[in-house]
């Protein structure tokens, strides 16, 4: 078997690792309670509630089985393992849709949308290099551009000559870089964030308010992961509650309050997503992309690949049409009525409808 072989894969976490997670959660050394005013981080009561669920009735094997109901593959690209869900449509000539997560997401983020999308499309959901089942990466230098080249190679090895790419968070940036690196094979990109296309001051009040809040309140994680990712990784790899709090805070802060993603309906998906980072020990390798971005701050968008933008009202940052339109071949602009940074979990029905429309109507009209 060569390194370029694409082989079937199943998620099979050793029982010893599952037991170790429960044991560590039971022995959590909690921070002392203090009477503090103001917003200083995720609330202790919320973290305790999530940890109690994670170490109690929550069952990893249920979520492992949910992932394993999808066909999966791995292959070695540029010295690292690359994993993907690969669900083929019943129609051989169906279009191909690639779904790209970011941080702190994983393939779990798209678990609710794969099957309905696969009714009319072949669906490929890679774990980005360094994330989840594609990690840890053995070396540094995994910029979003290098990740894009790895995804392009994965699609080629799967036998796909033409495909559409959707991405959010870092997935938006990798989708953008795919359009630049592989324009002959990318039929279109659809993104929820437009990194590098910043509006003029005062161009959009909503976006300005979101940007101000991010700069003043929500961006601390970025600074840490962009400057000292290894220092952070020791704690997150050793403490499941540390990893849980670090990820759950993003789900609390970056989502539509109406989604209640840490409530009963979707809490278990957030815990499964966190468990993927925990079991694969990818807290450190996933954070490296922030460091690489700081060291290689390239922003380039294709002006020829058809581009769709979907604006989620409660996302971390909001695209502004006046900044995006001159920079890309904009064929679709949608503003959804609800949802935030994780639409595959928050508003899966809206995301499915949006992607179907983009692939089957907007791109077909080109």
Residues with catalytic function: 169, 290, 341
State whether residue 163 is helix, strand or coil. Answer: strand
State whether residue 186 is helix, strand or coil. Answer: strand
Q: How far apart are CA 164 and CA 363, in angstroms?
A: 9
State whether residue 31 is helix, strand or coil. Answer: coil
Q: Where are the alpha helices (DSSP H) in the chain?
A: 15-26, 44-54, 60-68, 114-117, 144-157, 170-181, 205-213, 220-227, 229-238, 240-253, 267-280, 283-295, 321-324, 343-346, 348-357
| Total Cβ atoms within 10 A of residue 196 | 14
CA angle, residues 175, 152, 278, in degrees to nearest 5: 70
Taking the CA atoms of 65, 71, 77 and 79 in sequence, report the sign of the dihedral they define: positive
Written in H, E and C, the secondary structure of 278-340 is: HHHCCHHHHHHHHHHHHHCCCCCCCCCCEEEEEECCECCCCCCHHHHCCCCEEEEEEECCCCE
- For residue 329 the two structure tokens come to 């071949």
| Total Cβ atoms within 10 A of residue 220 | 10
């Amino acid at each position: 078997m060569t390194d370029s072989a694409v082989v079937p894969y199943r998620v099979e976490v050793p029982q010893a690792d599952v037991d170790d997670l429960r044991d560590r959660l039971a022995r959590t050394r909690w921070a002392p309670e203090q009477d503090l005013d103001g917003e200083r981080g995720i609330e202790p009561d919320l973290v305790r509630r999530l940890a109690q669920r994670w170490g109690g009735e929550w069952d990893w094997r249920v979520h492992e089985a949910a992932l394993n109901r999808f066909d999966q593959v791995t292959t070695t690209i540029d010295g690292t393992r690359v994993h993907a869900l690969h669900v083929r449509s019943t129609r051989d000539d169906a279009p191909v849709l690639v779904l790209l997560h970011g941080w702190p997401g994983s393939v779990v983020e798209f678990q609710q949308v794969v099957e309905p999308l696969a009714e009319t499309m072949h669906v490929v959901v890679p774990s980005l290099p360094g994330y989840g089942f594609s990690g840890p990466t053995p070396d540094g230098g995994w910029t979003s551009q290098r990740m894009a080249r790895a995804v392009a190679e994965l699609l080629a090895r799967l036998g796909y000559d033409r495909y559409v790419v959707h991405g959010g968070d870092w997935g938006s940036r990798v989708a953008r870089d795919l359009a630049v690196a592989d324009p002959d094979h990318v039929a279109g990109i659809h993104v929820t964030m437009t990194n590098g296309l910043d509006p003029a001051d005062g161009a959009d009040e909503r976006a300005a308010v979101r940007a101000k809040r991010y700069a003043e309140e929500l961006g601390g994680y970025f600074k840490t992961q962009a400057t000292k990712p290894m220092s952070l990784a020791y704690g997150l790899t050793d403490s499941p509650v540390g990893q849980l709090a670090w990820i759950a805070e993003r789900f609390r802060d970056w989502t539509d309050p109406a989604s209640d993603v840490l409530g009963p309906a979707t809490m278990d998906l957030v815990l499964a997503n966190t468990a993927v980072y925990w079991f694969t020990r990818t807290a450190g390798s996933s954070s490296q992309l922030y460091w690489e971005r700081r060291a290689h701050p390239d922003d380039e968008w294709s002006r020829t690949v058809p581009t769709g933008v979907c604006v989620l009202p409660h996302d971390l940052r909001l695209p502004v049409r006046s900044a995006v339109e001159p920079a890309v071949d904009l064929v679709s602009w949608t503003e959804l009525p609800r949802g935030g940074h994780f639409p595959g979990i928050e508003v899966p029905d809206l995301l499915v409808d949006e992607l179907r429309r983009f692939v089957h109507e907007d791109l077909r009209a080109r």
